[in-house]
């Protein structure tokens, strides 16, 4: 049995969506964020020492990291679905986007969230202008230009078929869903990127997406 240790409002929503697309039976164990810090609760450390989500157990084997989880589930439960044929050009693109989502795009979006919180966080009046200036400066000279570059590349990639690895949905689209939702929420993709907007509308209209939301509970990205 697959058990998904699912943190509310988190990246692990993608794992539920993938399992619904695969039609694989699974159990959800929900975890609520700390209402003050918005961090994962300490109970997750009993599952994996980092105490992060997503993490799954499949027949007793604990697997962490979204990319590793997705590759495992597709290989073990996919029966050839949601991955392009091995050795194909689409497969090489598939592998690239599986690693790109968390390795390249999400770090920028996490930094964007942290620095935006820093700029507005309650601080002593003496250092408040300094903290705000540093946060805004990092956004202007590093984060915003890099996010613009990345979103432009993604927009161009989606122009061909509307998907990331060939003519139909794959697990590469699953892993890219969360960073693109986050990019719309806080990374400048809310306008001027019609292919990204169309991609999100397309995946969010899928029955498996709706079923995953029902299984996962509250899902709202932090801004």
Question: Does 1.20.1050.10 match the CATH number of domain 89-206?
Answer: yes
Q: Is the peptide bond before 143 cis (omega within 30 degrees of 0)?
A: no
Nearest 5°: phi and psi at 76? -90, -35
Q: Comparing 6-20, 24-38, 127-141, 203-217, which segment has the lowest mean pLDDT?
A: 127-141
| Contacts of residue 74, Cβ cutoff 8 Å, sequence gap at least 6 | 18, 22, 81, 82, 83, 171
How many angstroms separate the CA atoms of 169 and 44, rounded? 31
Q: Is the confidence at residue 131, as pLDDT, over 70?
A: no
Cα–Cα distance measured from residue 220 to residue 65, given in angstroms and rounded to the nearest whole number: 21
Residue 27 DSSP class: E
Other CB atoms within 10 A of residue 201 CB: 9
| Range in 109-118, 121-130, 162-171 the model is least confident about | 121-130
**pLDDT tens column, 43-92:** 999 999 999 999 999 999 999 999 999 999 999 999 999 999 999 999 99
Say what the pLDDT of residue 142 is.
86
CATH T-level fold of 2-83+209-216: Glutaredoxin (3.40.30)
| Alpha-helical regions (H) of 48-187 | 66-77, 89-100, 106-120, 128-138, 144-161, 171-186
Report the C-alpha gap between 145 and 214 in whole angstroms. 37
pLDDT digit string (tens) for 96-116? Answer: 999 999 999 999 999 988 877
Count the alpha carbons within 13 Å of 142 in the hemisphere toward its beta carbon: 11
What are the structure tokens assigned to 47, written together? 């599952």
Predicted TM-score (pTM) above 0.85: yes
d(C-alpha 16, C-alpha 190), whole Å = 25
Which has more pLDDT, 123 or 32?
32
**Chain mean position to CA 29:** 19
Do domains 2-83+209-216 and 89-206 share one topology? The answer is no
How confident is residue 129, by pLDDT bands cut at 50, 70 and 90? low
Query: What distance in Å separates the CA atoms of residue 167 and residue 121, rounded to the nearest whole number?
Result: 44
Q: Which residue has the higher pLDDT, 130 or 37?
A: 37
Q: How confident is the model at residue 195 (pLDDT cuts 50, 70, 90)?
A: very high
Which sequence spans correspond to the domains of the chain? 2-83+209-216, 89-206
Tell me whether the omega of the peptide bond preceding residue 54 falls within 30 degrees of 0, making it cis. yes
Q: What is the dihedral of CA 173, 68, 66, 71, to 10 degrees?
A: 30
């Amino acid at each position: 049995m697959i058990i998904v240790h699912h943190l509310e409002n988190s990246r692990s929503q993608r794992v539920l969506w993938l399992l619904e697309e695969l039609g694989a039976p699974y159990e959800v164990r929900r975890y609520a964020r700390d209402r003050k810090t918005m961090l994962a609760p300490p109970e997750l450390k009993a599952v994996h020492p980092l105490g992060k989500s997503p993490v799954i157990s499949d027949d007793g084997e604990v697997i962490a990291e979204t990319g590793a989880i997705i590759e495992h589930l597709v290989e073990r439960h996919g029966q050839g679905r949601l991955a392009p044929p091995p050795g194909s050009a689409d497969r090489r693109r598939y592998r690239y986007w599986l690693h790109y989502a968390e390795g390249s795009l999400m770090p920028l979006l996490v930094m964007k969230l942290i620095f935006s919180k820093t700029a507005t966080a309650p601080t002593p009046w003496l250092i408040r202008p300094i903290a705000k200036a540093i946060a805004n400066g990092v956004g202007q000279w590093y984060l915003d230009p890099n996010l613009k570059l990345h979103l432009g590349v993604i927009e161009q990639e989606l122009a061909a078929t509307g998907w990331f690895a060939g003519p139909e949905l794959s697990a590469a689209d699953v892993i890219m869903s969360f960073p693109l939702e986050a990019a719309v929420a806080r990374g400048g993709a809310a306008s001027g990127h019609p292919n990204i907007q169309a991609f999100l509308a397309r995946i969010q209209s899928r029955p498996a997406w709706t079923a995953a939301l029902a299984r996962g509970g509250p899902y709202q990205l932090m801004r």
